[in-house]
Structure 1
Amino acid sequence: MRVPEVLWSLTDQGVIDEVVRPLKSGKEAQVYLVRAGGDVRVAKVYKDASERSFKQRAQYSEGRRVRNTRDQRAIDRRSRHGRAQEEQAWKSAEVDVIHRLHAQGVRVPAPWNFIDGVLIMELVRGDDGYPAPRLAELDLDAQTATAYFERLLREVVKMLCAGIVHG
């Protein structure tokens, strides 16, 4: 198993006890099953901009500004410093949204720690105690699918009421 260097670093620092296995890889991050803080959790390792496969990067960062005007000018100029600041701002914004959603009672994995571009959070488990399957992996009857859809709409309403809409 190939483990990103940043996870070895977090293991050396004592933040993570063990990297168990890869769980999922997507367009913005790789997710690993880890042991941390006495529990099994997931570590979301955000990919660097050069590794992400966003087709329309501008959509993902639209409306995001940094507080430091020097950094914002560097971002606007696309300098090396600006790209690094934009990268950090993007990762921090993603983590901030998860914290805000969790605080509003939206059913998202509880964030545990964010360090060195890695978000460590609760493992969402199925009834069997193993990592919950993705919705696309489930074979749902119409009644169950309708119940899930209604539950999802209630979560979206919470996001709207909190002023958080992501995606």
Structure 2
Amino acid sequence: MSFDALSFSPSDLAEPGPDQRWSTWPETSPTERGPLPHPDWIITESAALDTELGIVKTGKEAEVFLIERAVPGDPSRSCVLAAKRYRTSAHRDFTRSTQYVEGRRTRSMRDERALGKKSTYGRELAATNWAFAEFEALRRLYVEGAPVPYPVQIHNDEILMEFVGHGITAAPRLAQIRADAAETALLFEQVVEAMHVFAHAGFAHGDLSPYNILIHKGRVVVIDVPQIVDLAANPSGLDLLHRDCNNVTTWFARHGAHVDAESLFAELVAEVF
């Protein structure tokens, strides 16, 4: 579907058509929106329409869709967003969650018990907790200056964020990049810088790899942070940080960079403590 086909005038569309809905921005509160100031490209008009353009990524816990948010009849008012939707309890797998969520607080003892028993309510709560954890992490990291997508809003179990790519084509993952030695060294410097920003904010990514680092216009963008780890509160925090270091340095070493996982780990620990 081309963007020309997604240009509407008020007379063309009285109600949302197939694969469309009214913008969910008006349904969100200020705490469910990205940090201020909002970028100019964000569409906040109540009359805007969200049009689903296709799926970007599938996973065990969530799927990422491509959405165009546009004001009908005004071609200058549109943007493309990534919509990350956490799966329903019947179709998701949070088997990895135990180690990551240690140290996280829940709203009440009732919620804590429901999560522990994995009741229907507990499974639904788990999805919401992961969605809010990712959204809040993106808000915090964006403010800290980390290279992450701008988090536009969260609505129920759906996070809308900046789409990293050109047009409607997603940026390639680090694992897909073919770079020479000089370019590889520069990319490694950027990844290390991003890990320092995370550590300075008190976090480890927890699942960092060449598959959740995008390369856009020569710059790295870190994605997929629902499992982000609080290094002070989580007993496994340093172990997960060390694993991030190993994952990153192993890939770069295979591609000719001179790296050392233990030195990087020591730098990041010093950043935290």
**TM-score, scaled relative to structure 1:** 0.81
Residue of structure 2 equivalent to 1:5: none
Residue of structure 1 equivalent to 2:59: 26
Residue of structure 1 equivalent to 2:106: 66
Alpha-carbon contact 1:102-1:108 (below 8 Å) kept: yes
Identity of aligned residues (%): 34
Cα separation, 2, equivalents of 1:13 and 1:48: 22
Alpha-carbon contact 1:97-1:164 (below 8 Å) kept: no
Counterpart of 2:50, as a letter, is D
Secondary structure in structure 1 of the residue aligned to 2:205: coil
Look at both structures and tell me which one has the larger radius of gyration over its CA atoms.
2
1:75 aligns with 2:115: yes
Cα separation, 2, equivalents of 1:74 and 1:54: 15
Equivalent of 1:109, from 149, 158, 162?
149
Counterpart of 2:192, as a letter, is L
Higher helix share: 1
Counterpart of 1:105, as a letter, is G
Residue of structure 2 equivalent to 1:12: 21
Task: Give the root-mean-square deviation of aligned CA atoms.
Answer: 2.4
**TM-score, scaled relative to structure 2:** 0.52
Unaligned runs of 5+ in 1: 1-7
Query: Deviation at 1:153?
Result: 0.3
Map Cα deviations across residues 26-60 of structure 1 (whole Å, 9 max, x no partner): 33321111112520111111223543345533223
Map Cα deviations across residues 110-143 of structure 1 (whole Å, 9 max, x no partner): 01111121111111125x8842111122111121
Alpha-carbon contact 2:20-2:50 (below 8 Å) kept: yes
* Count of residues in correspondence between the two structures: 158
State how 1:111-150 maps to structure 2 within 5 Å. Answer: 111-125=151-165, 130-150=169-189
Query: Deviation at 1:12?
Result: 2.8
